[in-house]
Structure 1
Amino acid sequence: MKSIGVFDSGYGGLTVFKSIIKELPDYNYIYMGDNARAPYGDHSFETVYQYTLECVEWLFSQNCQLVILACNTASSKALRTIQQKVLPVKYPNHRVLGVIRPTAEVIGAHTKTKTIGVMGTRGTVNSESYPIEIEKFFPEVKVVQQSCPMLVPLIENNEHLTTGADHFIKKYLEELMAKAPDLDCILLACTHYPLLIPKLELFVPPNIELLSQGEIVSSSLKKYLSNHPEIESEIGKTGERIFYTSGDTETFDVSASLFFGKVVKSKHIHLQC
């Protein structure tokens, strides 16, 4: 039986994976983190595409017919090319889904002022993927963006809830809200950022909703499987969860447990650097 592949450049995708398992606990999953080459946020489009494609093809080789890119940077810089140019030619029976489109499809329901903010890595923000996708579904919604390059390092060094992180969190929030004082929803467009919610809530006005992607993506995946029984019926349902990392397994297991909320035991895979 096949598994559902879940990919991220590092740890953040585990927050999405956690929500997917909560929504769809019975399926078999393989999680793969490309920690040896993370972070992807500051890499070029071409580099992110090459890295993402290599990881997707590896998951295909592990009998994953369906792969979820639980990474905003990979979704913004690589997904479209993989879907349009690679799958039809090399893997016509495989599917790769991302996190941006499911979010864009529903985000309009979360704003009354029709103005939302997006916090993400430089790569995600510079790609303009969210303004482009949101406009397709909600052309009346204004989108303002803020790149937050210091947040991922703070999270991955477990410094995100310390007072030392306050400067950068307040700085990014103030810069974002200055661009659109009437925004009433902030999308956390990096899968690391849900770990910041306790800290963000200290500085975000109560009228502004903080929106993370885990529940959105898991709900979208549930609908997708329901609409594609030819794929759903092939997936094993013994609740198997296997974790792989291209980095050091001991380091991965410690940090991954923080993101996943449970003890993680990973296996190492070697990728071309």
Structure 2
Amino acid sequence: MKQTLPSAAGPIGIFDSGYGGLTILSKIREALPQYDYIYLGDNARAPYGTRSFEIVYEFTLQAVTKLFEMGCHLVILACNTASAKALRNIQMNDLPRLDPMRRVLGVIRPTVECIGSITQSRHVGVLATAGTIKSESYPLEVHKLFPDIKVSGEACPLWVSLVENNEAQGEGSDYFIRKNINNLLIKDTEIDTVILGCTHFPLLLPKIQQYMPDGITTVTQGELVADSLKDYLHRHPEMDRKCTKGGRCVYRTTESEEKFTESASTFLNESIRVERIEL
């Protein structure tokens, strides 16, 4: 039986498995402050980076459906793992069933679209979670647009934990950051551009830049995704009309409110109120 979803205009939904998507949300709100937003973090089941394609797809679909039920017509998967493992299936198989007029967008495509104008050597590196690297989403998307660019990836399985345990600037993070950067650059000595393919990783940027050799450009996603969304809404006025504009942002989590509020302070420079929900 087809589900009946709210038809009135509503906020833009921003989904992430944890807290990293807050780095995307903050840049989107800077670029588009007039819109309303719901941020949903599936913190109780994070991280997604080590989970199977099937589980990531199942969890992401539950979250997208929940945001639709909460009035969103447009949802951004502010999570590279969800974008890599679930976005295509949701767009092709689930939106026609749920509501063909709603849209779900990811963070990988907007990031990739800018790479061609940044790299001079046409050799690009990606630092991301194991799930994103294993999916090969970045090489696939890059080669669709820029067949001449070589892409090498390095899984950084501990970086998310470093951020979420407030060790981003601690001495313990140096070893792992240096090790993963060196591993990537050993794979291809001609890399001149490195994509941070996880929304947590901008919090590690000072350390990353410390160990990244001179002459290599480090690309973060927040501003790229924000600019892409701004362009999308300009090109799709029919969707823009379905997005309410009151400058509000609310937060929902599948974990405890206290834990979310405490951890979110690492990512946001404001005090927030959050409510716990179930998916």
Give the TM-score of the pair, scaled to structure 1: 0.98
Runs of 4+ in 1 over 4 A off after TM superposition: none
Matched, 1:72 2:80: yes
CA distance in 2, matches of 1:89, 1:54: 14
Aligned length: 271
- The match for 2:198 is 190
User: Residue by residue, what CA displacement relative to the aligned partner does 1:103-144 show, whole Å, maximum 9, x if unpaired?
Assistant: 111111111010010000000000000000000111111100
User: Residue by residue, what CA displacement relative to the aligned partner does 1:23-69 show, whole Å, maximum 9, x if unpaired?
Assistant: 00000000000000000001000000000000000000000000000
Please list every run of 5 or more consecutive structure 2 residues that lacks an aligned counterpart in the other structure: 1-8
What is the CA-CA distance between 1:74 and the residue it aligns to? 0.2
- The match for 1:20 is 28
Aligned pairs for 1:79-158 within 5 A: 79-158=87-166
CA distance in 1, matches of 2:35, 2:29: 8
CA distance in 2, matches of 1:207, 1:242: 40
CA distance in 2, matches of 1:2, 1:206: 45
Matched, 1:178 2:186: yes
CA distance in 2, matches of 1:52, 1:200: 29
- The match for 2:243 is 235
- The match for 1:216 is 224
CA distance in 2, matches of 1:222, 1:68: 12
**Root mean square deviation of aligned Cα:** 0.8
User: Residue by residue, what CA displacement relative to the aligned partner does 1:200-245 show, whole Å, maximum 9, x if unpaired?
Assistant: 1111112011100000100000010001111101211110100000
What is the CA-CA distance between 1:13 and the residue it aligns to? 0.3
- The match for 2:39 is 31
CA distance in 1, matches of 2:162, 2:139: 26
Which among 249, 262, 276 is matched to residue 268 of structure 1?
Answer: 276
Matched, 1:43 2:48: no
User: Residue by residue, what CA displacement relative to the aligned partner does 1:54-99 show, whole Å, maximum 9, x if unpaired?
Assistant: 0000000000000000000000000000000010122111100000
What is the CA-CA distance between 1:259 and the residue it aligns to? 1.0
Secondary structure, counterpart of 1:89 in structure 2: helix
Percent of pairs identical after alignment?
50
Secondary structure, counterpart of 2:153 in structure 1: strand
Residue identity in the other structure for 2:161: P
- The match for 1:57 is 65
Please list every run of 5 or more consecutive structure 1 residues that lacks an aligned counterpart in the other structure: none
CA distance in 2, matches of 1:251, 1:94: 32
Residue identity in the other structure for 2:68: F
Secondary structure, counterpart of 2:114 in structure 1: helix
Secondary structure, counterpart of 2:111 in structure 1: helix
